[in-house]
Amino acid sequence: MSSQQQANAAAAHRWREAIMPTYGTPAVELVSGSGCTVTDAEGKTYLDLLGGIAVAALGHAHSAVTSAVSEQIAKLGHVSNFYSHEPELRLAERLLQLAGVGDDGRVFFCNSGSEANEAAFKIARRTGRPGIVAADGGFHGRTLGSLALTGQPEKQRPFEPLPGGVSHVPFGDVAALDEAVDEHTAAIVLEPIQGEAGVIVPPEGYLRSAREIADRNGALLILDEVQTGIGRTGHWFAFQRYGIVPDVITLAKGLGGGLPLGACIGVGRAAFLLEAGQHATTFGGNPVCCAAALAVIDTIESEGLLEHVARLGKEIIAAVERLDHPAVREVRGAGLLLAVELNDDIAPAAVESARARGYLINPVRPDTLRLAPPLILDGQRANDFVRDLAEVLSEAAGGEGKN
């Protein structure tokens, strides 16, 4: 066993002895990162094409984030929501401006995507209507409320009974959604692109139809932008690709640039349904996390990363398609939220092969690889990965692909 394998084995043993078994045991112990790369305990460097599951929007140790966090923690680290502070106020105002809702919106800050979706769930309850319609395959978190919204029965089953009133319809099926929504429906809850289901992009016009169906029945349209928001798809918010505005937007992941920060944005009447004392969180709107988020937003804007992300995502899709590899069924996504769907359940093997070559990717499904790299990924490194992907897939498939 090499020294690298020994170090990783030791870390795996310590993990099993100290961490609850809610995750698989990690194969690699990471100790540092810079830009789009991370380094393990033995000095091996990897191109990080997962970005902490779409979290590291500016990569690792970005100077804008580290400076903002260092300056803020040296001034004011935490105050609770009994007091206001400039980073939280400025971030809320900025998010409302980026979402295009201005004075018509209000923001609730929390710590994660699950918490943002819990807040959205409670907003829906405050309409006084009992029903919520979500989508099969959708993923909205693992707390009990967000899990009830999640359209994946295998994740729900061990924790039933869950909060009631939630039904699920096929994602992308306008007729099914229209049939399920009526005067008793409080809200429709959707992801603009289903991330954990395998980066599933809905048919053209689906979200616009969802907006129309919600309006016709007096229901809220809640869009979970936890994975798609803050530039991930080449827009500040994925809903902006479709020319609509939802009633509630939930955010997390890339918002904090690596720090735990979530947000629930209410628009119009949804901004005022939760009253004083009806919802709260101790750490929501933490000054340090808000300072990091402001640095993320400023950098995306100043460096033109929205345009870069939109262009690079299309280039990666086209390059993978040009491989014409027999293991590949489809390449899909938007911006830098991408999936390579395979013809067989070889995604876990492909992840191991990629890791051995210095790439970190994710088997979001047994037959699907997910890419959610930092938004600063450059074209050369993307090309290097696509070049090596052919060999990765051939090895995972047993050496039968084209090289």
Instruction: Report residue 393 CA to chain centroid gap.
Output: 25
| Cα–Cα dist 48/372, whole Å | 9
Burial pattern 201-214, b for ≥16 Cβ within 10 A else e, equals bbeeebbebbbebb
Instruction: Name residue, tokens 């809200």.
Output: 187
Question: Edge to edge, what strands does the sheet with 362-365 contain?
Answer: 328-334, 337-342, 368-371, 362-365
Q: Which amino acid is at 318?
A: A
Pairing, β 185-190 against β 248-251: unpaired
Q: How far apart are CA 104 and CA 185, in angstroms?
A: 23
pLDDT of residue 7: 76
Tokens found for residue 235: 């827009």
Per-residue pLDDT at 402? 40
Given 3.30.1490.390, 3.40.50.300, 1.20.1440.230, 3.90.1150.10, which CATH number is that of 3-61+304-396? 3.90.1150.10
And the tokens for 367? 């037959």
Place of tokens 């090309």: 383
The two three-digit tokens of residue 129, written as one number: 């209507």
For the chain, list residues with pLDDT below 70: 1, 4, 399-403
282 among annotated binding-site residues: yes
Q: Known binder of ligand: residue 281?
A: yes
Radius of gyration of the chain (CA): 21
The CATH number of the structural domain formed by 63-302 is: 3.40.640.10
- In this prediction the pTM is 0.96
Q: What is the 3-state secondary structure (H, E, C) of the chain?
A: CCHHHHHHHHHHHHHHHHCCCCCCCCCCCEEEEEECEEEECCCCEEEECCHHHHCCCCCECCHHHHHHHHHHHCCCCCCCCCCCCHHHHHHHHHHHHHHCCHHHEEEEEECCHHHHHHHHHHHHHCCCCCEEEEECCCCCCCCHHHHHHCCCHHHHHHHCCCCCCEEEECCCCHHHHHHHCCCCEEEEEECCCECCCCCECCCCCHHHHHHHHHHHHCCEEEEECCCCCCCCCCCCCHHHHCCCCCCEEEECHHHHECECCEEEEEEHHHHHCCCCCCCCCCCCCCHHHHHHHHHHHHHHHHCCHHHHHHHHHHHHHHHHHHHCCCCEEEEEEECCEEEEEECCCCHHHHHHHHHHCCEECEEEECCEEEECCCCCCCHHHHHHHHHHHHHHHHHHCCCCCCC
94 labelled binding-site residue: no
According to DSSP, the residues that pair with 62 across neighbouring strands are none
Q: Which amino acid is at 112?
A: S
pLDDT reported for residue 309: 98
Q: Is 142 annotated as ligand-binding?
A: yes
How far apart CA 67 and CA 65 sit, in angstroms, is: 5
At 401 the pLDDT is 40
Domain ranges of the chain: 3-61+304-396, 63-302
- 225 annotated to bind ligand: yes
225-276 pLDDT tens trace: 999 999 999 999 999 999 999 999 999 999 999 999 999 999 999 999 999 9
pLDDT for position 183: 98
Measured between its terminal Cα atoms, the distance across the chain in Å is 30
Q: State the amino acid at position 77 in one-letter form.
A: G
